[in-house]
């Protein structure tokens, strides 16, 4: 994984559960953001020496895998709802167009 952007973040007690207090270098891990295709925007804890050439390779996701799965599921539901809305809009436009044509035909 080669994250391109990173940021220091505040560490709440819920974020620090399940991860080491220090990386294998003995340093405090920094909170970073993934920019990979597989995990865009996903937060993780990594070695502060990453990309300096001396990184120990420490890595831990900041949130459980279950949240990623839930987010993926919600994204799929949103896409389905968007398709249904687009279909309803198309049917509505078609209906109003047909009604207008029938009314025009009756008036002429």
Compute the residue count for the chain.
108
Counting other chains too, the contacts that 41-44 makes at CB distance below 8 Å and 24 or more residues apart are 42/68, 43/9, 44/3
pLDDT tens by residue, 38-86: 888 888 888 888 777 667 888 888 877 667 777 788 889 999 999 999 9
- Cα–Cα distances (Å) from 55 to 7, 29, 47, 49, 59, in that order, read 16, 11, 6, 4, 11
Domain ranges of the chain: 18-62
pLDDT tens by residue, 2-49: 444 444 343 444 344 555 688 888 888 888 888 999 888 888 888 888
pLDDT at 20: 66
> Which residues, listed in sequence order, are joined to residue 33 by a DSSP beta bridge?
5, 43
| Closest C-alpha to 46, from 60, 27, 35 | 60
Q: CA-to-CA distance for 4 and 68, rounded, in angstroms?
A: 20
Q: What is the pTM of this model?
A: 0.42
Could you tell me if 66 and 46 are in contact, meaning their C-beta atoms sit under 8 angstroms apart? no
How many CA atoms does the CB half-sphere of 99 hold within 13 Å? Answer: 6
């Amino acid at each position: 994984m080669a994250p391109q952007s990173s940021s220091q973040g505040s560490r709440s007690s819920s974020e620090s559960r399940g991860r080491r207090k220090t990386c294998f270098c003995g340093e405090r891990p920094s909170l970073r953001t993934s920019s990979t295709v597989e995990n865009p925007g996903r937060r993780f804890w990594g070695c502060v020496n990453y990309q300096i050439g001396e990184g120990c390779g420490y890595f831990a996701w900041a949130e459980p895998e279950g949240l990623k799965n839930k987010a993926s599921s919600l994204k799929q539901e949103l896409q389905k709802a968007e398709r249904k809305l687009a279909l309803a809009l198309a049917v509505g436009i078609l209906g109003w167009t047909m009604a207008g044509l029938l009314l025009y035909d009756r008036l002429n």
